[in-house]
Chains A and B, each alone.
Chain A
Amino acid sequence: VENVRLLDRLSSRKAALGTLYLTATHVIFVENVSETRKETWVLHSQISSIEKQATTATGCPLLIRCKNFQVIQLVIPQERDCHDIYISLIRLARPVKYEELYCFSFNPKLDKEEREQGWKLVDLNEEYNRMGIPNNYWHISDVNRDYGVCDSYPTEVYVPKSATAHIIVGSSKFRSRRRFPALSYYCKDNNASICRSSQPLSGFSARCLEDEQMLQAIRKANPGSDFIYVVDTRPKLNAMANRAAGKGYENEDNYSNIKFQFIGIENIHVMRNSLQKMLEVCELKSPSMSDFLWGLENSGWLKHIKAIMDAGIFIAKAVAEEGVSVLVHCSDGWDRTAQVCSVASLLLDPYYRTMKGFMVLIEKDWVSFGHKFNHRYGNLDGDPKEISPVIDQFIECVWQLMEQFPCAFEFNERFLIHIQHHIYSCQFGNFLCNSQKERRELKIQERTYSLWAHLWKNRADYLNPLYRSDHSQTQGTLRPQMAPCNFLYKFWSGMYNRFEKGLHPRQSVTDYLMAVKEETQQLEEELEVLGERLANLQKSQSNDNKVKSKQQDRSKQLGLSTSNNNLANTPQEYSNDLKSFPSRSPSQGDEEDSALILTQDNLKSSDPDLSANSDQESGVEDLSCRSPSGGGCLPSEDSGKDSDEAVFLAV
């Protein structure tokens, strides 16, 4: 469709005219401006809602909200076209079969072997070995080998050695969806462990000998401690309500040596509504400070984040400081339990704060233990009540920790944002389906690619320049402030307003330091070469013109790299640099059959940070003009003529 206008959310007077394309996988908007041809690509699977608004004189507005928090406002000249697009998108955004998802058509031109290599990057058995398991207390159990005991668990489960198959099966019958207690994390140093399960089917008085034996076995696997914590991550009221349905929580009297603890994390419905409310605040047009802070508070979002963090901190403390093992559950043990176990692991073990370790962590606590990715993130058309930002919250917890411990993580914010993006994009097979069983049935590993390999390949982009493996923050347990430090939890505009580049710092310290480090590396190499040359020269004391000319080349190269570095640090010039960059893209965009190019395009447009580049074209000065500063008091450069009117809007 031609002559479509892409509106700028922050300034209604600024709109780009262009052409809208619908492909099998993407919505693509290409600007008409000939030299830039800026493109905006949106994956169908990212679309969370489409709204057709009342037709105006200028056309028919269409509002597309994305799961990665992008909001796109289009005005389409013809009502009929708009309707067609609307209908198509509604269908395309809600696939009913897995086979319709992008990962089955996405082909990064890797051969079979490379694909297999990619899937092998993260190996959970290796991970449990790293933790020191199997050992005298824990071993791998094949009780679930054909998903016979629990269909949402992996085939390979780690349990206490003393827990026989009989105990496991018995315990599983006493747990919601048969999700029996299994090992999530084991601390080599003191034998304390984190296990996870679902709620017990205790009702008001039921008990189960095998389940009691199971918990006993977990306690015995940690000879240093005479009790275990059982942490129910739900609010007490919710847990009690569950008793009426024959579910509930452990009775301390029936289990020997447990300490039972509620931690009030709200359920998926509360979280979904909370995010919704917060996003409404993010979408406000030129909100006042009060509107924003009040809305943020009212959404309760940060309160929920803090609750998850507090739970993770509690568990990490129990394991690291008290040396006590913990069993964590919520209702089904696949949402809050996953959040809390992974936060605790992250605090306890520096390995999970590395890039590779973080991938392992997500595979371990989320993918393998049957977090329902498909339901929670709405990959296939399903029950909207099942959708909830569960892993988004975990990712935010990591970001909040990064803010408090800037040197503790090997990866940077971009890494988190890209993972969030791909949880919804369905471009890679990792997060498909609701369980390992479903993924195996679909033969995901043979038919799709692994995100981890993709991220690993580009790991240079995701490095935190402040990370050093011998730094004190990268050793041992992280101990965040607990008590009254509410102010430590901050709104993450890099995530929730990530497409509004105008709101973010205009210069990135991370990027600057990354550039410096890169240059440092080049310098180190050159230093070595120069040193060698000097030694040679001193030895031979003969003139070698070749050496000299080579050396000049080198210095030229270095000069270039420094100036690039400079460019990177001044966004104004950065944008000039970028102006030439997107001009390459149209030709690539046309050749859609070339899959390799397609990936690049995806990188450029659907990967948030890169697409931002084109946003920045107008440079810093221009961007600011879009800041919603009191009734558009800052008209933009190109609108100099009518800006008087804009200025006085505020008067």
Chain B
Amino acid sequence: MEFAELIKTPRADNVVLHRPFYLAVEGTLCLTGHHLIFSSRRQDNAEELWLLHSNIDSIEKRFVGSLGTIIIKCKDLRIIQLDIPGMEECLNIASSIEALSTLDSVTLMYPFFYRPMFEIVEDGWRSFLPDQEFELLSLVTDEWRLSCINKEFSVCPSYPPVVIVPKSIDDEALRKVAMFRHGSRFPVLSYYHKKNGMVMMRSSQPLTGTNGRRCKEDEKLINATLRPGKRGYIIDTRSLNVAQQARAKGGGFEQEAHYPQWRRIHKCIERFNILQESLIKLVEACNDQSHNMDRWLSKLEASNWLTHIKEILTAACLAAQCIDREGASVLVHGTEGTDSTLQVTSLAQIILDPRCRTICGFESLVVREWLQAGHPFQQRCAQSAYSNSKQKWEAPVFLLFLDCVWQILRQFPCSFEFNEQFLIMLFEHAYASQFGTFLGNNENERSKLKLPQKTMSLWSWVNRSEELSKFQNPLFEANSLVIWPSVAPQSLQLWEGVFLRWNRPSKFLDEAHEEMINIIKYNKELQAKVNALRRQLAEMETDDRMQENL
């Protein structure tokens, strides 16, 4: 298929662009296979707006006489309005955008066409390999092994080819355990807590069904992570009720009788359309133009977004606490183990492990706990807050995770190497990107699509010093301790950087940020100067002394 077929009107002149807090600008609109490009040639202020079609969440058209207006709502939550003279042009453009923003073939997506203009220092596809992770682990413990059981994705389609499992469990046993877990997602290592050797594992629900099926190998596997005489905790991210209902469909939960050394805790984290609706309501509230304060607060409340944040953070704190404070190992799972499970395991690591609070460590966390762990990005991030199609599998699971990270960052502004912009950037790229990183639903699909060969990795772009400097937190001072966030409602806030980004003027906040950077920069410069002078003085003095001695 040629994109040209979809583009009936590639170019329109005298188009007016409206954006909140900006003056309307007139310019030319061009459509290409992957971009909507608006350029104004006003001499004083030439500007261009490039919008990926895949970033477009929904499009509306309106007509007043022969003047057509299209309103474009993006996945990054921005809304722009284009006034296009000419009914036919407007209709053509609208239908082209609609077609181009809803291409169903992944291989037609922009990452397959994108050619980077920057020099690649390090191939991001090879930056975070499981072997490296395991090497780090084997420096501190020899109780775990790297299993290649899933090499051809034959055991578990949503797992990576290699996983870390207890040394004492052989591949044969793993195969049996896989049969006993939903989607074959058998328990694997998620995190090893160096401080006390406790671990966090993740999996999907056990397939106990109504008749209480059991699997000795499964019991053996998870017991293998316990120290003699110690107990562990199973954190089930569903309410007890939901978990019980799952039995009717063949799923279920670990029964006390078969897992006597484990205590099960149910923490209810919502899933799927409940989250998607929450996002839709929240964004609606943020875009509400009314002047009424009460309405804002009740709409914020009714969206339940912050409630979800609180639930997720609480579960993550609990997992972290079991590991760090109770000295117990933890197994986390929900139903599939691809959504709420990953929110909990990844946030717990941010709380526990200072490495995850660095830029590189956080990228590694996203790769391990989200991409390799098989979070179905393509399904979940297909549409954002303005979508009309209510598909069951769309859900802002990853955005909620990023929001939780932002909440912790806000409470510990000096403990993270990255800043808010870094998180916003990840949100944008998860929904629409020129890079292949977030394409596909799991490693299996990614390898079939040959993404590493055919597309560029987001990490190749981010991890260059030009880009990194934008994402560095000037306040960062390595904090090697566990950081415990507060989950009280008073401590949780709306993430304005994402949700109010396009509807509030940010000039004054940006200025403050700049001021902050300058203060720290000046301090560093002075430090360097003082050190240089000190050195110079010391040298001169030794010279003098030598001369004297002569």
Contacts and interface: CB of A to CB of B under 8 A. Distances in A.
Interface stretch (A117-125, A282-290, A345-353): A282-290
B115 interface: no
B293 A493 contact: no
B544 A643 contact: no
Interface in A473-510: 473, 481, 483-491, 493, 497, 500, 502-509
Interface string B304-324: 101101100010011001100
A473 B541 contact: no
Contact of A507 (B240, B293, B415, B515): B415
Of A306, A472, A473, A503, most buried by chain B (CB within 10 Å of CB) is: A503
B411 A506 contact: yes
A486 B533 contact: no
Given A302-B297, A555-B534, A634-B318, A517 B500 contact: no
B508 A473 contact: yes
Contacts of B264: 651
Nearest to A627: B486
Given A507-B412, A520-B523, A627 B487 contact: yes
B243 to A, nearest CB: 12
B338 to A, nearest CB: 24
B412 A505 contact: yes
Contacts of A497: 490
Given A407-B512, A471-B511, A629-B317, A503 B491 contact: yes
Interface stretch (A245-253, A259-267, A564-572): A564-572
A525 to B, nearest CB: 10
A362 interface: no
B390 interface: no
Contact of A292 (B298, B489, B503, B529): B489
Nearest to A467: B515
A541 B544 contact: yes
Contacts of A12: none
A511 to B, nearest CB: 10
A509 B475 contact: yes
Interface stretch (B57-65, B217-225, B283-291): B283-291
A609 interface: no
A487 B412 contact: no
A129 interface: no
B484 A503 contact: no
A16 interface: no
B477 A569 contact: yes
Contacts of A226: none
A516 B530 contact: no
Contact of A405 (B508, B527, B541, B547): B508
A234 B273 CA distance: 46
B533 A527 contact: yes
Contact of B481 (A290, A486, A621): A621
A548 interface: yes
B534 A551 contact: yes
Contacts of A635: 321, 325
Contacts, number: 252
A407 B513 CA distance: 10
Contact of B489 (A288, A523, A644): A288
Of B301, B475, B482, B485, most buried by chain A (CB within 10 Å of CB) is: B301
Nearest to B293: A303
B483 A506 contact: yes
Contact of A471 (B515, B534, B547): B515
A471 B540 CA distance: 41
B327 to A, nearest CB: 9
B298 A513 contact: no
B16 interface: no
Contacts of A643: 325-326
A407 B294 contact: no
Given A484-B289, A648-B265, A491 B490 contact: yes
Given A466-B516, A473-B511, A503 B486 contact: yes
Nearest to A306: B293
Nearest to A486: B296
A628 B490 CA distance: 11
B482 A621 contact: yes
B296 A487 contact: yes
A489 B294 CA distance: 11
Contact of B530 (A289, A471, A523): A523
A527 to B, nearest CB: 6
Contacts of A505: 410-413, 491
| Interface residues of chain A: helix, strand, loop or mixed (majority) | helix
Contacts of A254: none
Contact of A487 (B298, B500, B540): B500
Nearest to A631: B314
A530 B536 CA distance: 10
A573 to B, nearest CB: 9
A414 B239 CA distance: 43
A100 interface: no
Interface in A498-549: 500, 502-509, 512-513, 516-517, 519-520, 523-524, 526-527, 530-531, 533-534, 537-538, 541-543, 547-548
Given A289-B492, A293-B300, A527 B483 contact: no
Contacts of A629: 314, 317-318, 486-488
Interface in B520-550: 520, 522-523, 526-527, 529-530, 533-534, 536-537, 540-541, 544-545, 547-548
B214 interface: no
Given A302-B293, A486-B291, A620-B483, A524 B301 contact: no
Contacts of A542: 544
A217 interface: no
Nearest to A287: B489
Nearest to A554: B534
A88 interface: no
B454 interface: no
A647 interface: yes
A624 interface: yes
B318 A647 contact: yes
Of A287, A288, A489, A630, most buried by chain B (CB within 10 Å of CB) is: A630
A541 B548 CA distance: 11
B505 interface: yes
A21 interface: no
Contact of B286 (A487, A555, A558): A487
A630 B477 CA distance: 31
A132 interface: no
Contact of B519 (A292, A302, A513, A541): A513
B30 interface: no
Contacts of B314: 629-630, 633
Given A405-B508, A486-B291, A523 B526 contact: yes
Contact of A303 (B294, B413, B545): B294
Interface string B149-193: 000000000000000000000000000000000000000000000
B458 interface: no
A537 B300 contact: no
A650 B413 contact: no
A282 B491 CA distance: 12
A490 B515 contact: no
B263 interface: yes
B14 interface: no
A406 B265 CA distance: 43
A297 B295 CA distance: 8
A384 interface: no
Nearest to A515: B523
Contact of B545 (A473, A487, A523, A543): A543
A529 B482 CA distance: 41
Given A297-B298, A497-B490, A520-B519, 19 more contacts: A289-B489, A302-B297, A306-B293, A405-B508, A406-B508, A484-B288, A486-B292, A488-B504, A491-B490, A503-B486, A507-B413, A516-B520, A524-B526, A530-B534, A543-B541, A543-B544, A624-B484, A633-B321, A647-B326
13 contacts: A289-B304, A300-B294, A406-B511, A503-B490, A504-B491, A505-B413, A506-B485, A523-B530, A541-B544, A543-B547, A558-B530, A627-B491, A633-B318
